[in-house]
Chains A and B, each alone.
Chain A
Amino acid sequence: MNDVARLTLLDRVEISAAWLLGIIWLMPLLYAFWAGFHPPEYATRLDLLAPLTLENFAEAWSQAPFARFYLNTFILVTSILIVQFILCTLAAYAFARFEFWGKDVAFVLVLVQLMIMPEVLIVENYSTMSSLNLVDTIAGIGLPYMASAFGIFLLRQTFKTIPKELEDAARIEGCSVLQILWKVYVPLARPTYLAYGLVSVSYHWNNFLWPLIITNSVETRPLTVGLAIFGAPESGVDWSVISAATLLAVAPLLVAFLLFQRQFVQSFMQAGIK
C-alpha cells in the first residue's frame, strides 16, 4: 500500500490547510512574480491563460542603472560583513574569555547599541560623515554599522560554549592568541558565522533610510534607494515594471536563501539566541 492510500481524511485536510496557509502567506511575493511575468493589463487580474512575458524586466533594466545598483550593494554588504567579522570576533573573544577593567561597562555599551537602531541617529551620523568627507560614498553608508552589537553578542554566546581545554591545548602547542582564535574558535563557531553573515547581508541589502539620506548619486546608491526612486508614484512607471524591478532587486537574496536555507536554519538553531 502506498503512502497516499494510507493518508486519512484528517491528514489530507491538514496538508491542504498547510498549503493554503503557506500560499496565503506567500501571496504578496507570488503576486510580484505574477505581475512581473505578465503584460501590464493582467497586473491585477488573475487569468491563468494570460501570456507570459519578459518585457517588464527589459523595461525595468533599461529605465534604471540596475547593474550599478547591484555593484554598489555588493561592495557595501561585502565590506560591512568583512569588517564586522573581524571586529566582532575580536571583541566577542575578549568578552567571552577575559576578565578586564571596564568589561561590564563596555558590554553594557554594546547591549545598548543592540537595542537602539542606528537609524534614529541619522542626523548626527550625517554630520559626522560630512566632517569625514564621506557623504555620498559607500564607506559613508557602511561605517556606522561596522561594529555590530548583534554580532558581538551572538559570537560571545557561542565562544562561551567552546571548552576552555581546547584553548589551553592550543596554547601548549605554542599558538598565539590570534592563532587560537583562527584555529580553535572560528572553525567551531562556523554555524554562528553563517547565521550572522546571512542576517547581516540581508539587513544591509534591505537597509533604506540611512542610504537614502547619505547618498545622492547613482555611483553610490544601493538597490533599495534606486528601487524607491524608480518606483515612486510620480515616476509614472506601471505596476508590472515595478514588480519586475522589485524581483530584480530581491532575486540574489532569494537565490542565496534557496541555496543556503538548510545551513541557515540549522545555524540559527545551533546558535541558540537567548
Chain B
Amino acid sequence: MTGAMDKNRYLPLFLVTPALLVVVGLFMYPLGYSAISSFQDKSGAWTFANFEKAFDLYSLDIGFTVLIVVLSTVAIGVLACATGGYLTLGENPRAVAVLKWLYRWPLFIPFIVAGQLMRTFLAKNGMLNNILVSIGLLEPLQATSLLDWRGIVITFVWKQTPFVALLVAGAMASLDRSTIEAARNLGAGRVRILIQIIIPQVRQTLLVGLILSFVTMMSVLSVPLMINAETPTMMTVDMAFRINSYGDYGVANALGFISYLMAGSVAWFYLSQGVRKGERP
C-alpha cells in the first residue's frame, strides 16, 4: 500500500521531468546566464558597460522597436476584432464565407517569405505603386517606397492578424447567441453589439493572441532585416549585427535582456489580469 502511494507520489514528477529538463537546461539556464553575462565584462567583472553601450548605440532602435511592435499589436487587435466581429455578426452568408476563406491565408506564410514578398511588393518601383499608377490613383512622380517602418508594420499586421482573428473568431463563435439576439431585438447596431457585448466576453482570448503576437514580433529578425535594415531598425537586427560583425556577446546579451524585460512586462500584465479576476492561469 505504502509502495503504491510512493509510486503515485513520484509518478507526476516522472511525467513532468523530461519537459522540465529541457525548459531548465535550454531556457532557464541560458536566460539566467545571459542576464548575468549582460552585467559582466569580458574578464567577468560586474559592470553596466554593456547596457551603457547598448543605450548609447541603440537607444533609437529600442524606442523604434517598442513603437513598431506596439503599433502593430494595436492594429492587429483592431483588425482581428473587426474580422471576428464580421464573421460572427455578418448577415450576408456569402460575404461571410468569402471573408472566412480569404483572411486565413497569410497564417502559413513564413515571416521570411512575408518579408520577401513585401520587399518586392512595397518598393518604390514595386507592384503596389505600379497598380496605383496604372489605375490613376497615383502620379508616377508621387510613388514612394514603403520599405521603412511602415513596411515593417504592414508585414507584421498582414502576417499576424489571421492568427489572432482565428482565436478571436473561435471564441466569438462559441458565445451564447441569446445576448446578441436580445441586443439586436432592442435595436443595437452591429458595431455597438461588437464593442459592448462581444469583445468584453472574448477579452481573455484576444489578450492571449495579442501577447503571443507581441512576443513573436519582438523576436523576428527576417522582416526588419529585409525591409529596413538601416537605422533606425529593430533590436533583433542589432543583436545579429553585434554577434556576426564584432563577436560582441555582452551588448547582444544586454539587448536580449532589454527585449525579454519588455516581453516579460507584457506577460506580467496578462497574469495580473487573471489574478485580479481570481483565476488561476
Contacts and interface: CB of A to CB of B under 8 A. Distances in A.
Interface in A138-172: 143-144, 146-147, 149-150, 152
Contacts of B37: 123-124
A94 B15 contact: yes
A82 interface: no
Contacts of A107: 281
Interface residues on B, range: 35 or more
Contact of B20 (A21, A91, A212): A91
A149 B12 contact: no
B246 to A, nearest CB: 13
Interface in A99-118: 99-101, 103, 106-107, 109-118
B16 A256 contact: no
A69 interface: no
B263 A117 contact: yes
Interface in B75-119: 90, 92, 94-96, 98-99, 101-114, 116-118
Interface stretch (A25-33, A50-58, A60-68): A25-33
A45 B130 contact: yes
Contacts of B134: 46
Contacts of B219: 117, 119-120, 209
Interface string B2-25: 000000010111011011111111
A144 B117 contact: no
B197 interface: no
Contacts of A242: 116, 120
A71 interface: no
Contacts of B125: 44
Of A110, A121, A212, most buried by chain B (CB within 10 Å of CB) is A121
Contact of A122 (B12, B23, B239, B264): B239
B23 A123 contact: no
A128 interface: yes
A250 B222 contact: no
B142 interface: no
Contact of A109 (B23, B102, B240): B23
Name the residue among B18, B21, B259 with the largest chain A CB count within 10 angstroms. Answer: B18
A227 to B, nearest CB: 6
Nearest to B9: A100
A117 B216 contact: yes
Nearest to B16: A94
Interface in B195-253: 204-205, 208-209, 211-212, 215-216, 218-222, 226, 236, 239-240, 243, 249, 252-253
B166 interface: yes
Nearest to B265: A115
B256 A123 contact: yes
Contacts of B109: 29, 250, 253
Interface in A1-23: 11, 14-15, 17-19, 21-23
B17 to A, nearest CB: 9
Main secondary structure of the interface of A (DSSP, over half): helix
Interface in A190-223: 202, 205-206, 208-209, 212-213
The bracket for how many chain A residues form the interface is: 35 or more
B20 A227 contact: no
A50 to B, nearest CB: 13
B111 A206 contact: yes
A273 B37 CA distance: 36
Contacts of B167: 268, 273
16 contacts: A22-B102, A32-B117, A43-B127, A46-B131, A91-B19, A100-B16, A116-B215, A128-B30, A144-B26, A147-B19, A209-B221, A224-B112, A268-B167, A269-B173, A272-B174, A274-B171
Interface of A: 11, 14-15, 17-19, 21-23, 25-29, 31-32, 34-35, 43-46, 86-88, 90-91, 93-95, 98-101, 103, 106-107, 109-125, 128, 143-144, 146-147, 149-150, 152, 177, 202, 205-206, 208-209, 212-213, 224, 227-228, 231, 239, 242-243, 246, 249-250, 253-254, 256-257, 261, 265, 268-269, 271-274
Given A18-B94, A119-B221, A228-B222, 16 more contacts: A11-B92, A14-B92, A18-B92, A18-B96, A29-B106, A29-B117, A31-B120, A94-B12, A115-B211, A116-B263, A118-B27, A123-B243, A146-B22, A206-B112, A227-B116, A273-B167
Q: List 9 A-B pairs, minimum CB-CB distance, nearest first.
A: A22-B102, A124-B30, A115-B267, A206-B110, A147-B22, A98-B12, A269-B170, A117-B219, A91-B19
